[in-house]
Amino acid sequence: MSTKSILNETSIAFLESYLNNASPTGYESEGQKLWMNYLQPYVDTFITDTYGTAVGVINPDAPFKVVIEGHADEISWYVNYITDDGLLYVIRNGGSDHQIAPSKRVNIHTKNGIVKGVFGWPAIHTRLRDKEEVPKLSNIFIDLGCETKEQVEAMGVHVGCVITYPDEFMILNENKFVCRAIDNRMGGFMIAEVARLLHENKKTLPFGLYIVNSVQEEIGLRGAEMIAHTIKPNVAIVTDVCHDTNTPMIDKKVEGDLKMGKGPVIAYSPAIQNKLRDLIVDTAEENKIPFQRHATSRATGTDTDAFAYSNGGVASALISLPLRYMHTTVEMVHRDDVENVIQLIYESLLKIENNQTFSYFK
């Protein structure tokens, strides 16, 4: 299968609408509806749970269960405090970056719809020349153009309202996808494309395939933790993003040497089941899919950990997408890597056998 043929115009149109839609942690349901609508022609049924994880299932009656997984949520902010003169102070919902906040426009999600605001910041002329204050959680604030707390509340804004950035999808220099929330709605997109390819290529799997779009990854892998107990899978292949370490100010001795455009990243970690990882590496080599390796120490920091350590242990592996500028509004990935992750997951599924144990003792 040529990587050039994987994404089509319909795929890209879905990706754009899916990325542009806000799905902050804890509020993923509208994005999940878009995702399920796209996936619906390619699966037999859906599972959803109390907190909003969505699962498309192929062969739901099969006893052997394989998961492919991404997460649906994006980092955001919560309104934490409203001053008497109508300014908002915030706390994180996930790993939101305080340093990128000043001068950013924001969407505040209320029962009455979106309220617009901006992260204000003192003008350069007014800041102390000898020791400038840097942005930090205690000094960044949002201005809605209101003069009093009462005006803010009259707009439907209250403590606990969630805040996202409005930045939207663009393609840079023909083959770089740029948007907020590529971490990790691109994962949800890629697993949906795997399902589409299985359907279009009329592939029949000997096991049940669970295409899982988990919620609440950004605050501790919580959605994966919940759905792993619901599905009780035998195997899980997770896809998330990892750092492109070839931009300035990143130490490769600490973060490893990974580069956007050089292929999917296969993880090495105690949570990764070695035989499943070897199957994925063999698949990449046999299909001439370029790939990179990444050692993640004691934890991967992704939903892989939640699946691996559930249900007495689930054979799990992680295929990552190299990303520049994680947790900013200009996250960037290479189209070739996106297509190669899709192909690698697709081909790996075709290589997994029904009832395969991955036991180290056989």
Binding site for Zn(2+), by residue number, is 71, 183, 218, 240, 327
Residue 146 in tokens = 């209101």
The DSSP output letter for 103 is T
The letter for the amino acid at 69 is E
Give residues with Cβ within 8 angstroms of 265, minimum separation 6.
242, 258, 291, 292, 293, 294, 319, 320, 321, 322
What is the C-alpha to C-alpha distance for residues 228 and 233, in angstroms, rounded to an integer? 7
Q: Which residues are catalytic?
A: 217
CB 53 within 8 A of CB 70: no
Residue numbering of the annotated binding site? 71, 183, 218, 240, 327
The DSSP output letter for 24 is B
Cis omega (within 30 of 0) on the bond before 246?
A: no
For 332, counting Cβ atoms within 10 Å of its Cβ (0-12 exposed, 13-18 middle, 19+ buried), the class is buried
What is the C-alpha to C-alpha distance for residues 55 and 35, in angstroms, rounded to an integer? 10
Q: What SS3 string covers 109-142?
A: EECCEEEEEEEECCCHHHCCCCCCCCCCCCCCEE
Q: Where are the beta strands (DSSP E) in 6-104?
A: 45-48, 54-58, 65-71, 76-82, 87-93
What is the C-alpha to C-alpha distance for residues 25 and 186, in angstroms, rounded to an integer? 16
What is the C-alpha to C-alpha distance for residues 26 and 245, in angstroms, rounded to an integer? 30
Q: What SS3 string covers 165-208?
A: CCCCCEEECCCEEEECCHHHHHHHHHHHHHHHHHHHCCCCCCCE
For 32, phi then psi, to 5°, come to -65, -35
- Cβ density class 301-313: b for 16+ within 10 Å, e for less: bbbbbbbbbbeee
